[in-house]
Structure 1
Amino acid sequence: MPMSNGTRTDMRRVARGIRRRLSRLAEPPVPRTAHRLVPDPVFLISSVRSGSTLLRVLLNSHPEIRAPHEMHLRTLTVDLTKPYTEKAMTELQLDRRELEHLLWDRVLHRELVRSGKKVIVDKTPGNAGVWERLHEGWPGARYLFLLRHPASMVSSLINNRPDRDLDATVREVRGYVEAVEAARAALPGLTVRYEELTERPERTTQEICAFLGVAWTPAMLEYRRGDHGPFVPFIGDWSDNIKSGAIQKARPLPAPADVPAPLRDIARAWDYPC
């Protein structure tokens, strides 16, 4: 019995679908790193009130390093507003996560090109909570881990806003430092201590430059001479200390008896007295 035109059409459609699937299987997978305009950005993994803005402006004072204010890339999202939008992206083998990686990468690349420099550093403290996502999106990324005595972070937060609840602040800091420690345990990188950065800034910045593969310059220690953008809330420190343009000595380490109990284990793990 001869086939109807409709049956032939259906068979041709099925055959085309099979050929498409076979052609995709035959194609070698495209490494996600091939899509990155910035294959090896530097992510500074730190807590809030750990001295990250100071480290940022010292790095940004280097002629080859761009370290802008906090960019909060993790909150920059992609919205596939229609079912056919998701269908179209699926045909391109792009899911929402990878689309967001492409968007974040484009922001990093734009800022790097605009600066005319070679290395870009993102210092957003919130990156500590998404380090796995950053590693997924940038297998070639480099990491700086900035430590500070956890109790000093608590004191700094409360000094900045005396109305803060102490227990809530301790819980906030513990959440950050646990994330930083998890990242340190899983990722290669260079650990920097805020106390050493303020006590011996020349030696510490030399170590960072060696890690990043750039030549050290004393200009890094004169950050008051550069344009680092505004010092305002939500995108970095805005205290008088950072606005002074000078590296301020770290406050003395807290006495062991003054370290809140929930922070003692991580303080010991970071070799701080407690």
Structure 2
Amino acid sequence: MKVIAMIPARYAASRFPGKLMKDLKGKTVILRTYEAALSTGLFDEVYVVTDSDIIYNEIISNGGVALMSTKEHECGSDRIAEAVASMDVDIVVNVQGDEPFTERESLSGLIDVFHKDPRHEIALASLMTPLHQWEEIKDPNVVKVITDRNGFALYFSRSPIPYPRDEKTGVTYFKHKGVYAFRKQALMDFSQWPMLPLEATEKIEAIRYLEYGRKIKMVETGVSGIEIDTPEDLEKAIKAWK
């Protein structure tokens, strides 16, 4: 089973433009993320796929492998689908470009879903981590996910889900980390489906899969890391970096 990592990277992020080229302890965020994915040792190949000459040159000049998108894309998964269309691969892991704390344990659990699925019944898996602070649960920059009893996603939202009408139930809230693992055909299918209203409203690409009646297997991890969505996140990352 050939497994590759694809890191979609836009320069013009809406909440924090140019964030992937910001300095994180002597290297850019995107280079830190690329090196982190590479250092897991889980992938046959690791690529950055981007629409930015600046990001492309940053990866290439540091000995990495990067691909340029030829089309405009609404989300990272569409950008990756273009890149892998002609590749001979089995599993494609979408690692977010703003995840410099990407580590082996979580990604290994994600890939293991497919090793344990010889009948190819699962086409897409993703990561989630428990939330314990109400400020994070309410934060629209933190995507939440709820699942069924078998760990398949029911819905993703920027709002607190489930709504805590009864706070005594002890429900655990989960953050969706935005790291996906696709069978290649599932990724190609995803890229052919037009965006529907729920995805367009929430701006969460995983919802597209649910709107077209497909399942997403969620894998719990205790490693939360720091996703760099805002300047404040970057400051946290700088302080946390070892």
Q: TM-score range by the shorter chain?
A: under 0.3
Question: TM-score if structure 1 supplies the norm length?
Answer: 0.24
Bigger radius of gyration among the two = 1
- Comparing both chains, which one has the higher relative contact order based on Cα–Cα distances under 8 Å and sequence gaps of 6 or more? 1
